[in-house]
Copies of this chain bind each other. A is one copy, B any other.
Amino acid sequence: MTLDFSRDKPIYSQLVDRICGDILKGNLSLGDRLPSVREYAVETGVNVNTVQRVYKELEAMQMTETKRGQGTFITTNEERIIQLRDDMKKQLAQSFLTSIEALGFSKEEMILVLQQK
């Protein structure tokens, strides 16, 4: 694989987003095992510690459960996933609103732009 990473955001953060996305989209199923930190490090071309940080973040979000010696698994708690999905949606919307307000755009004009794309 060896992914491309944008430089304006930490790699670990981009990987968290990617995995979150895969889970929320259903590309990964509840209970699935993620690659080991070493495997995933090789796949993506980053350091083991970076992957560890990714898995740590995911676990802190209660999106995964980590078992030493066994691996990291996507939570089987479906409610938690649903809740996370909703939280993220709200958070995305809120930070978007904050940004546009800071630059003086109205919600309505931005929605128009979005609809045109």
Contacts and interface: CB of A to CB of B under 8 A. Distances in A.
Interface of A: 17-18, 20-21, 24-26, 88-90, 92-94, 96-97, 99-100, 102-105, 107, 109-111, 113-115, 117
B88 A103 contact: yes
Contacts of A93: 110, 113-114, 117
The SS class assigned to the A binding surface is helix
A1 B96 CA distance: 26
Copies in the complex: 2
A101 to B, nearest CB: 8
Contacts of A17: 102-103
24 contacts: A17-B102, A18-B102, A20-B103, A21-B103, A21-B104, A25-B103, A26-B104, A88-B103, A89-B105, A89-B109, A89-B110, A90-B113, A92-B96, A92-B100, A92-B103, A92-B105, A92-B110, A93-B110, A96-B96, A96-B114, A107-B114, A107-B115, A111-B114, A111-B115
